[in-house]
A and B are shown apart, each in its own frame.
Chain A
Amino acid sequence: MDLEKEKIRRKIKSIKSLPTLPEVAQKISKMVEDDKTSATELGRIISTDPAISGRVLRLVNSSFYGFPGRISSISNAIILLGFDVVKSLIISVSVFEMMEKGILGLWEHSLGCAIAARFIAKKVKGCDPEEISVAGLLHDIGKVVVSIQLAEDYQEIKKTIEEKKISFSLAEKEVLDLTHEDIGGWLAESWNLPVGLREPISCHHHPQLAQQAKLSTAIVHLANFLIRAMGHGSGGDPWVPELNRKAWERLGLSMQDLEEIITDLGDELESMETEELI
């Protein structure tokens, strides 16, 4: 690995947590302060935020607790860490200092992808919808890292996308010779996240590269495609990513299944908007 990449990799290894949106942080902190909030409610709200989910999963999978790389669901993480530990984590979450439009779009995209992944998982045999929905939530975590840790490069990437009319991944390749898949994968590795989360993060545009979590990666790949095609949120570029035929075939879904998923997903996104979750 060349020097520049090694430098970025080292930088990523030192990341302990990522910031979230100020509105989300405020809303969640309020819930935490309310004594009546149950563990289930807390889990549900954490599951809507990539930054806090990442933080909770990083801690429960750290070697300190003694079962690294095993926990991929938020509800199980709360059982193991304990209500009070999770509350303190949430209270100490940091927020984006400089908010730009792209970040809000990415947040919506991530949450949408989590929901889409859950609906798909429910139609596919032999998978755990909760784990896959977390994988969907975290799949673009590399983009958050790029926007914060490599802020200058991020501006350069955005410029390249506009000027050359290419995808986010291609622009990343040009500027960094790396993509958010590589970067997210490094972060997932340094946080000891289970392979069921790691591979969907590091291979969601290249599901054929997944070694162990093939099914989860294929589901997140499809979820990412669907949510972009439906125009919900933003992935940083105006294009819908390519759908991998093999990944689609692996899931064994019928056209009717797909239609049902799209209908359910549309309804869910609509009801979320009226609820003003954001």
Chain B
Amino acid sequence: MPSPGKDLFLISKDEKINSRITKKLIENDYTIITSGSVEKGLGKVYETPPALILLHEQLLKGKALKFLKSFKQDNLFSHIPVILIVNPDWEKKKINWDNYPVEDYITETFRSEEILNRVALCVTRFHRALDPNPLTRLPGNTSILREIQSALDLNQKTALSYVDVDNFKAFNDRYGFARGDEALRMTARILSNVIHGLQEDTAFIGHVGGDDFVFITPLDKMDDACKRIIAGFDSIVPSLYEEEDRKKGTIYSKDREGKKKYFPIMSISIAVVINEDNRLKHYGEVSEIASQLKKQVKKKNGSNYLVDRRKDKKKKNSP
């Protein structure tokens, strides 16, 4: 993992530009590695991914552009923003941006405050939307990991909740992938509205993948959030079914072993791990407790949430 925010990579042969950029940024606690060629520079970048790359447009000829494109196509690195440094005349041309896989540009005549803020903003912007899930546009695993860890580090009373849609697979098999995607987008929307509706800065909702989601709330908001998610889900999910199935309340589909049987309408299960008095230190501990808890909550019929307060060993069920 790159250390977020302060490691930059500069690809440029122009000594004057290099010294101006380096001076201002180092004064502001950035570290900068420099390279005079795109090919070599990117080689180093693959080894130690920086938070951002500054790249002189003059080096971006022929093969170099190809290298940059393949770098930006690699899904592990495509999130690293690239700022192009251009000649003021270049800016005047009509530019086909499809040919330049970069996030921003700055002219060689930049003011030093400008480069500083441009870099900081670019890093922040890409930190914000690091890995959105393509289906739901919710933050993905990298963000989830980061948010859980920072929630633990904050050492406040926090609830980390793992959401899972029951009987999703049967629905997917019966109605097809496109309808399954509809169900996931709908679930994401319900979760996201409830969590953002709390208006808490520390609240977070992410999409692990498939029918798995994670949300983080202050401890005292957790009960309310779970109840509202369940109420919303149960109210909306029947509209995803064909009228016939909806009336019966079951669908005929395959289980994991491929055996045909009847499945109830989808419901939602939430496993809630509580962190208080700083008892949890690491992300791994949270997911371990959550996966045990998930098994228990999924055994129950319908939508439920189950809270684990490891400290007092007391378990609480939803009403």
Query: Chain A interface (Cβ within 8 Å of chain B)?
Result: 65-67, 70-73, 75-76, 79-83, 126, 194, 212
A67 to B186, CA, bound (A): 7
Q: Which of B199-252 contact A (CB under 8 A)?
A: 232, 235-236, 239-240, 243, 247
Contact A67 B197 (CB under 8 A): no
Chain A interface SS verdict (over half): loop
**Chain B: which residue is nearest A213 at the CB level?**
B243
Residue in A65, A73, A83 whose CB lies within 8 Å of B189:
A65
List 15 contacting pairs A-B, 8 Å CB cutoff, sorted by A.
Answer: A65-B185, A66-B181, A67-B186, A70-B182, A70-B240, A72-B239, A76-B232, A76-B235, A79-B190, A80-B189, A81-B193, A82-B189, A82-B196, A82-B197, A126-B247
- Smallest distance from the beta carbon of B215 to chain A beta carbons, Å? 15
Most chain B CB inside 10 Å of its own CB: which residue of A66, A70, A73, A75: A66
Q: Which chain B residues lie closer than 8 Å to A126 at the CB level?
A: 247
8 closest Cβ pairs, A-B complex: A66-B185, A82-B193, A67-B182, A79-B232, A76-B236, A80-B189, A70-B239, A67-B186
Among A66, A70, A75, A79, which residue has its beta carbon within 8 angstroms of that of B193?
Answer: A79
Given contacts A76-B235, A76-B239, A79-B236, contact A67 B185 (CB under 8 A): yes
Would you list which residues of chain B between 170 and 195 have a CB under 8 Å from chain A? 181-182, 185-186, 189-190, 192-193
* Cβ of B224 to closest chain A Cβ, rounded Å: 13
Name B185's closest neighbour in chain A (CB-CB): A66
Known contacts A67-B185, A73-B239, then 5 further A-B pairs from the complex at CB < 8 Å, ordered by chain A residue? A72-B239, A75-B235, A76-B236, A81-B193, A212-B243
From A76, A83, A126, residue with most partner B Cβ within 10 Å: A76
Q: How far is the CA of A141 from the CA of B181 in the complex (A)?
A: 32
Q: With A and B bound together, what is the CA distance between A75 and B239 in angstroms? A: 13
* A80–B236 touching, CB < 8 Å: yes
Among B181, B182, B192, B193, point to the contact of A83 (Cβ < 8 A).
B193
B185 contacts across to A, CB distance below 8 A: 65-67
Residue on B nearest A131 in the bound complex, by CB: B239
Report the minimum CB–CB distance from A236 to chain B (whole Å): 33
In the complex, A81 Cα to B181 Cα: how many Å?
Answer: 17
Q: What is the bound-complex CA distance between A65 and B186, given in angstroms?
A: 8
Contact B235 A80 (CB under 8 A): no
Q: Which residues of B contact A83 (CB under 8 A)?
A: 193, 197
Closest to A130 in B: B235
Complex: how many Å from CA A72 to CA B197?
23
- Docked pose: A73 CA to B247 CA in angstroms: 17
Interface centre among A70, A72, A212 (most CB of B within 10 A): A70
State A274–B271 Cα separation when bound (angstroms).
49
Q: Please name all residues of chain B whose beta carbon is closer than 8 Å to the beta carbon of A67 when the two chains form the complex.
A: 182, 185-186, 240
Report B-chain residues with C-beta under 8 Å of the C-beta of A194: 239
CA distance A80 to B182 in the complex (A): 12
- Which residues of A sit under 8 angstroms from B192, Cβ to Cβ? 82
Q: How far is the CB of A198 from chain B (nearest CB, A)?
A: 14
- Tell me which residues across on chain A come within 8 A of B247, comparing CB atoms: 126
List the A side residues contacting B181 at CB < 8 Å: 66
Q: A8: shortest Cβ distance to chain B, in Å? A: 31
- Kindly name the residue among A79, A80, A194 whose own CB sees the greatest number of chain B CB atoms within 10 A: A79
A83 to B194, CA, bound (A): 10
A105 CB → nearest B CB, Å:
33
Q: Nearest residue in B to A125 (C-beta to C-beta)? A: B247
A262 to B30, CA, bound (A): 76
Q: Which B residues are CB-close (under 8 A) to A65?
A: 185, 189
B130 to chain A, nearest CB (A): 22
Q: Are A79 and B235 in contact (CB under 8 A)?
A: yes
Contacts of B239 in A (CB 8 A): 70-73, 76, 194
Which residue of chain A is the closest to B240 with respect to CB atoms?
A: A70
**What is the distance, in angstroms, from A238's C-beta to the closest C-beta of chain B?**
37
